[in-house]
Amino acid sequence: MKAKFSSLLILASMSFLTLSSLQAQTGVGQKPEKGAKVYLDGSKKSLEKNWIYWEGPRFSAEMPIKWPEVTDPVDGGKAISSIDPAGAGGKYGAADIVTKDEFKDFRAHVEFLIMEEGGNSGVYLQNRYEVQILDGDYGLHGMAALINEHLPTSEEYNGVGKWNAYDIVFRAARFEDGKLVEKPRATVYFNGVKIHEDKEISQVWGGPNSGLDGGNDGGKGITDRPGGLKLQAEGHDVRYRNIWIKKLDLTSPDTDF
């Protein structure tokens, strides 16, 4: 009986460990998961290696990328600022940057710091669907919104001058015989708190200057083309570091983690 009880305890412990290993590892400072690639470590070297400008209809910058390497105001390390001169005045699409690699399903970790009140940028999944970065606004076009569609369930922003982290699992739209049969979906954690759980995304917002398919049928004409992770330049000093991405293959329409 004692041996049997011990075996049950071991099995219970194994089950607990298995469940624990499935818990999301999220928040500022998270190291890359196994199989992930670091796309931005805060250095100009990693920027130039892994990123290019997105040459959309409003593109007006010139290579090499003008996003400067700056000092991390928190720990004195390196960060990259979105304050590209071509994006001055909120001219989104003029100097946005996107990963050279393109993705369908993926897990991403993005750390950002807004230097001044009202700072504005954005993280675009597949260069289509924006997770907003905007100090001072928590509406459908505000901080952490899946823009124009889903409000965050709680306000987790750390504030100006502090690092924040988005942890995202994204599943691309699915097509059969060229027709859309499943819309894209995303789960998002903000500073370690789940704020969007497996949300369906209906379209691309912002028109042709916003990203891929923005000009197709008013943003509803989503195509099957993969896309990179894009960061938006809007003339504000928003700093980025510790961006890593892992390619996934999500067979079922569920992004929760």
What local confidence, expressed as pLDDT, does residue 6 receive? 44
Q: Answer for the pair 239, 76: CB distance below 8 angstroms, yes or no.
A: no
Q: How confident is the model at residue 5 (pLDDT cuts 50, 70, 90)?
A: very low
Whole-structure pTM over 0.85, yes or no? Answer: yes
The percent of residues above 90 in pLDDT, for the chain, comes to: 90
Question: For the segment 12-31, what is each residue's pLDDT rounded down to a tens digit?
Answer: 333 333 333 345 789 999 99
Residue 127 has pLDDT above 50, yes or no: yes
Cβ 82 vs Cβ 236: under 8 Å: yes
- CA-CA distance, 240 to 133, in Å (whole number)? 12
Q: What is the pLDDT of residues 128-144, one digit of tens each?
A: 999 999 999 999 999 99
Q: Is 115 helix (H, G, I), strand (E, B) or coil?
A: coil
Are the C-beta atoms of residues 244 and 37 closer than 8 Å to each other? Answer: yes
Q: What is the DSSP letter of 175?
A: E
User: Distance between CA atoms of 221 and 214, rounded to whole angstroms?
Assistant: 8
The total of other beta-carbon atoms located within 10 Å of residue 15's CB is 10
